[in-house]
């Protein structure tokens, strides 16, 4: 069949390998409720009002930190594989096998029918890119989005990687996206309104000539993949509630070089910019603490130090949170990595 769809840019769909299957005989693996039939059930029958947000117990937060730590490890593993000539399907294979080896489930797999174990979004692909046999090219910017389901809880994170060396425009986009994201993360503390996060991000990127996608948002997370609160990455006045200790959620802005309007591919997943210009995204799973916030998917001493972390005017080095515990961990790790870089 001839593909007559009008793609916006240079990225076109490649050939996908068959959808991976999880053996039902793997009784040690805890599966999310959609793993076998693609239909999430938990939390779907009684959608919450946007300001009703679950407060996690200490036991739940402990499990989520374990999921977040594993998610970070897998994301670092995937990022090291990004290079010219590598296919995104090869990255998905690395991700899939490593998650199963760790005794977890790759949350994207069969979520509403998604066919792969991670999302790989290249250049103008904003989000939900499906791994395939397209080889990465020199200068491609790639978002790898990882979520793991471990012991009944999801840990969700994403990061940008560059195949080879970035051009100056790509560097500017990635730096702006990272900085607006970290500014928003640093704002989080009990008692503040979730709607304020969008204004912080928009006020950073707009003077630089970038725009924020409005079709997708950050989200609450826990035993359910996507729930309240909804985190909008642009100025808004939505009643999405107030931050409180024990809330767990993601911040994941999608920032574009040009138009932030979305073109959806016929695969019903891949979303690109309408003008073919590039998009970038970063994501953490966060938990609000009495004294601030912690990134449960934060980096560790084995993670890669990226140029935007070295050159950021917002926060240099790895950002792990604003709580006293997070700041102490970051201080120790950053002292070593910044000195060696």
Whichever domain contains 228, its CATH number is 3.90.230.10
Domain-located, residue 82:
yes
Residues 6+ apart with CB under 8 A from 223: 42, 60, 152, 153, 154
Domain-located, residue 27:
no
Q: Which pLDDT tens digits describe the chain residue by residue (341 residues)?
A: 788 999 999 999 999 999 988 876 666 899 999 999 999 988 654 457 888 999 999 999 999 999 999 999 999 999 999 999 999 999 999 999 999 999 999 999 999 999 999 999 999 999 999 999 999 999 999 999 999 999 999 999 999 999 999 999 999 999 999 999 999 999 999 999 999 999 999 999 999 999 999 999 999 999 999 999 999 999 999 999 999 999 999 999 999 999 999 999 999 999 999 999 999 999 999 999 999 999 999 999 999 999 999 999 999 999 999 999 999 999 999 998 877 76
Domain-located, residue 189:
yes
Q: List C-alpha distances in Å: 77 to 71, 96, 232, 337.
A: 10, 11, 29, 18
Please check if 315 is assigned to a binding site: no
Domain-located, residue 181:
yes
Domain-located, residue 115:
yes
Domain-located, residue 37:
no
Please check if 226 is assigned to a binding site: yes
Total number of domains constituting the chain = 1
Please check if 145 is assigned to a binding site: yes
What is the Cβ-side half-sphere exposure of residue 170, based on CA atoms within 13 angstroms?
19
Domain-located, residue 339:
no
User: pTM, whole model, 2 decimals?
Assistant: 0.97
The rounded distance, in Å, linking the Cα atoms of 126 and 120 is 10
What is the Cβ-side half-sphere exposure of residue 71, based on CA atoms within 13 angstroms?
33
Please check if 101 is assigned to a binding site: no
Please check if 284 is assigned to a binding site: no
Domain-located, residue 311:
no
Please check if 233 is assigned to a binding site: no
Note down the domain range covering 250.
Answer: 58-303
Please check if 311 is assigned to a binding site: no
Measuring CA to CA, which residue among 146, 163, 143 is closest to residue 85?
A: 163
**Which residue, chain included where needed, has tokens 């299957």?**
21
């Amino acid at each position: 069949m001839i593909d007559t769809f009008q793609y916006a840019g240079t990225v076109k769909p490649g050939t996908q390998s068959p959808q991976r299957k999880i053996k039902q005989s793997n009784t040690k693996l805890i599966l999310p409720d959609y793993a076998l039939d693609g239909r999430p059930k938990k939390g779907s029958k009684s959608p919450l009002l946007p300001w009703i947000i679950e407060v996690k117990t200490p036991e739940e937060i402990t499990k989520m930190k374990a999921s977040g730590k594993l998610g970070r490890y897998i994301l670092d593993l995937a990022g090291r594989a990004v290079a010219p000539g590598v296919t995104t399907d090869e990255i998905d294979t690395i991700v899939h096998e490593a998650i199963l080896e760790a005794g977890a489930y790759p949350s994207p797999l069969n979520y509403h029918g998604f066919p792969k174990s991670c999302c790989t979004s290249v250049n103008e692909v904003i989000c939900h890119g499906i791994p395939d046999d397209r080889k990465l090219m020199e200068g491609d910017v790639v978002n790898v989005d990882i979520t793991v389901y471990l012991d009944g809880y999801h840990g969700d994170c994403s990061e940008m990687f560059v195949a080879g060396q970035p051009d100056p425009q790509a560097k500017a986009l990635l730096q702006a996206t990272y900085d607006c994201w970290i500014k928003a993360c640093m704002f989080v503390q009990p008692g503040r309104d979730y709607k304020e996060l969008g204004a912080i991000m928009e006020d950073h990127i707009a003077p630089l000539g970038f725009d924020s996608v409005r079709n997708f948002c950050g989200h609450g997370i826990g035993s359910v993949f996507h729930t309240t609160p909804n985190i909008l990455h642009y100025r808004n006045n939505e009643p999405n509630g107030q931050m409180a200790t024990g809330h767990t959620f993601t911040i994941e802005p999608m920032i574009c070089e040009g138009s932030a309007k979305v073109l959806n591919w016929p695969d019903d997943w891949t979303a690109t910019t309408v003008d073919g210009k590039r998009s970038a995204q970063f994501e953490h799973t966060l938990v609000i603490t009495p004294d601030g916030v912690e990134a449960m998917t934060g980096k560790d001493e084995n993670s890669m130090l990226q140029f935007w972390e070295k050159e950021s005017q917002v926060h240099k080095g790895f950002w792990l949170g604003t709580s006293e515990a997070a700041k102490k961990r970051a201080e120790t790790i950053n002292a070593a990595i910044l000195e060696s870089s």
